[in-house]
C-alpha cells in the first residue's frame, strides 16, 4: 500500500499490546502447521475498516509492501476469529520471501489458487483446529477444505 497523503487511509496500525496478543497465540502453534509462516515479529499489522464490512475480504498480503499485513477491523472485537486469517497472510509473506521475483507471477488469477492459496487455506484451517476455534472463514465458507 502506498502512503500518499491525498489518499484516505482505511487502516489503523495494531497497538503494541494487540500485536503481542496475536504473537503470543501464534508462536506456540506455528511449528505444528504443515507449511511455514513468516515471523509475526517482523510484520507490521493493520486493521482495515473496509475489510469484512464493505467486502468479504478478511485479510491481505501485498508483495508491494511485504512487511505489512492487513486484516478486518471485525477482529478488533473478536480477536480469536482473526488469528487464522493472520496465519494465512503470514504464509503468503513466507511465500514471497521464498519465491521473491516469481511471486507476482504466482499471484495472477488461475495460477494463484493452486500456487499460493491452497497451502494457505490448509494451514488456516489447521490453525483454527489447533486453537479450538471455528474461525471467521469456516463460518462464512464451507468450501475451503
Ligand atoms: Zn490467500
Give me ligand 1 centre to Cα 89, in Å: 6
Q: Which residues surround ligand 1, an ion (CB under 5 A)?
A: 117, 120
Q: Which of 45, 91, 87 is nearest to 68 (CA)?
A: 45
Q: Provide the whole-model pTM.
A: 0.87
DSSP 81-126: HHHHHHHHHHHHHHHHHHHGGGHHHHTSTTHHIIIIIHHHHHHHHH
Residue 74 has pLDDT above 70, yes or no: yes
Q: What would the grid cell of residue 13 be?
A: 496500525
Which pLDDT band, with edges at 50, 70 and 90, does 138 fall under? low
Q: Which of 123, 140, 136 is nearest to 72 (CA)?
A: 136
Cα separations (Å) of 24 from 5, 117, 120, 130? Answer: 34, 25, 20, 14
Residue 77 has pLDDT above 50, yes or no: yes
Q: Please give the pLDDT value at position 142.
A: 39
What is the mean predicted confidence (pLDDT) over 3-20? Answer: 83
Give me ligand 1 centre to Cα 3, in Å: 23
Residue 105 has pLDDT above 90, yes or no: yes
Residue 6 has phi, psi (to 5 degrees) of -85, -5
Residue 134 has pLDDT above 80, yes or no: no
Better pLDDT: 7 or 85: 85
Give me ligand 1 centre to Cα 58, in Å: 10
Give me ligand 1 centre to Cα 142, in Å: 16
List the chain domain ranges. Answer: 11-140
Amino acid at each position: 500500500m502506498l502512503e500518499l497523503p491525498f489518499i484516505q487511509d482505511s487502516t489503523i496500525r495494531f497497538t503494541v499490546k494487540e500485536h503481542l496478543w496475536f504473537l503470543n497465540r501464534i508462536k506456540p502453534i506455528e511449528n505444528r502447521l504443515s507449511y511455514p509462516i513468516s515471523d509475526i515479529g517482523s510484520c507490521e499489522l493493520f486493521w482495515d475498516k473496509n475489510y469484512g464490512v464493505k467486502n468479504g475480504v478478511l485479510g491481505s498480503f501485498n508483495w508491494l509492501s511485504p512487511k505489512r499485513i492487513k486484516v478486518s477491523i471485525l477482529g478488533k472485537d473478536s480477536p480469536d476469529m482473526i488469528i487464522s486469517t493472520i496465519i494465512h497472510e503470514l504464509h503468503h509473506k513466507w511465500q514471497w520471501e521464498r519465491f521473491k521475483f516469481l511471486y507476482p507471477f504466482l499471484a495472477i488469477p488461475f495460477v494463484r489458487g493452486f500456487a499460493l492459496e491452497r497451502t494457505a487455506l490448509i494451514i488456516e484451517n489447521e490453525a483454527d483446529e489447533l486453537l479450538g476455534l471455528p474461525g471467521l472463514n469456516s463460518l462464512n465458507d464451507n468450501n475451503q477444505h
